[in-house]
Amino acid sequence: MNTNQKIQNRQAVIGVVGLGYVGLPLILGYANKHHKTIGFDVDAKKINHINAGQSYIEHIAEAPIAQAVNAGYLEATADFSRVSEVDALIICVPTPLDKHFEPDLSYVINTVDAIVPHLKTGQIMSLESTTYPGTTEEELRPRIEARGLVVGKDIFLVYSPEREDPGNPDFAGLNIPKVVGGTTPACAEAGVALYSAVFGKVVPVRSTQVAEFAKLLENIYRAVNIGLVNELKVAADAMGIDIWEVIDAAATKPFGFKAFYPGPGLGGHCIPIDPFYLTWKAREFGVHTRFIELAGEINRSMPRYVIQRTMEALNDKGKSVKGSKILILGLAYKENVDDMRESPSFELLDGFKSLGAAVDYHDPHIPVVSPTREHANWTGVTSVDWNQQTISQYDCVVISTNHNAVNLLELKEWAPLIIDTRNAFAKSSLIPNLGQLVKA
């Protein structure tokens, strides 16, 4: 019985490397369909949580984890020699940028190097980490074949980009169509078999390069449109026009327009990062993606714009930003989740602190700042309490993330000055006092 048949009969063991926001829901998808799964990670805390049937991601419930573990369909380990026990292996590790905005494939390369010695004939390997077109063929395939295994015959290598959107109630996990590209036709067939076992719709494409490029296009589309609306916001502010009202008016057109909204900057592991994987690879071919790079510059400038608007608002009240107490409301990069990856709130924290302000944050989803590569100085800082005595002490509250759990009516009553970067008050139909609210 080959691997494709074993998957179809639920007799295959599925391995997932990297048990974060992408890997954990994915492995649960297989386990809950009664496929035996093994999760691999270098983080002992994640492994211990899973094996104890516990969740460490807010929007992922514990019950499915506990049920899968107790039924024997899910276990986690840091022992990569157990790769030899699986029939299919899916890699979901980070692909950040370095300080020069160039791809950092160290997590992928180190993971593959740890896996390769334990590969066996007949296995399927899929990369889900976002990367530049050609990575699967140029980086993974040579490492596998150096082991003496022929891709397309002994090992079936595919690329299938993750499309996880934490906290999205409409599209999550297995109900999102799954794009799959193989390095050979046999690899593509194996990839379709692997993902058809749990995904409602699988979309095969001609090659791994097409799948890799498709993922970048999805997020570049968003980054460029958000960059456009962020630039228009600055222009509208200068003209005394409410950009949010402009967008709402334009969105009534039933064709040819899709609404995107401004904010304090881009966050999450995809949109601020993925476009630069393409700009980097395009330079290899003598192509300069100026449109993408310009959007990136605009989006990265938005925290500075928010800081400038805050300085002006404080100045109107006779206060200098230096010595002021400022509260950043929301550390997560998007509403109603505990995901703080690449959050622009960190840029606001750093920016106000560098100007001499005393700055704190409140986030009901993130009680304490966990370690990050770029903002290690905030590690261990805790969210301030939400009560009138605490909040009223701040000269200014900057809404960076519009969490539903935050009581805007209380904020209106307690804060002397509010900088609203998310149009939160207009969405809630609350009307702050004259001079209390500044949209930024």
Would you please indicate which residues are annotated as catalytic (active-site) residues? 270
d(CA 427, CA 271): 24
Both tokens of 419, joined, read 């900088």
| Number of C-beta neighbours around residue 317 at 10 A | 12
Kindly report the CA angle at 322 between 230 and 363, in degrees rounded to 5?
A: 55
Long-range contacts of 252-257 (CB under 8 A, 24+ apart): none
Neighbouring C-beta atoms of residue 167, cutoff 10 Å = 15
The amino acid at residue 262 is P
The residue written with tokens 């993922």 in the block is 215
Q: Which residues pair with 328 in a beta bridge?
A: 361, 398
| Pairing mode, strands 358-362 and 418-420 | unpaired
Residue with tokens 């998007």, as numbered in its chain: 334
Up-side HSE of residue 61: CA atoms within 13 Å toward CB? 6
C-beta of residue 433 within 8 angstroms of C-beta of residue 415: no
Q: Are 430 and 359 in contact (CB under 8 A)?
A: no
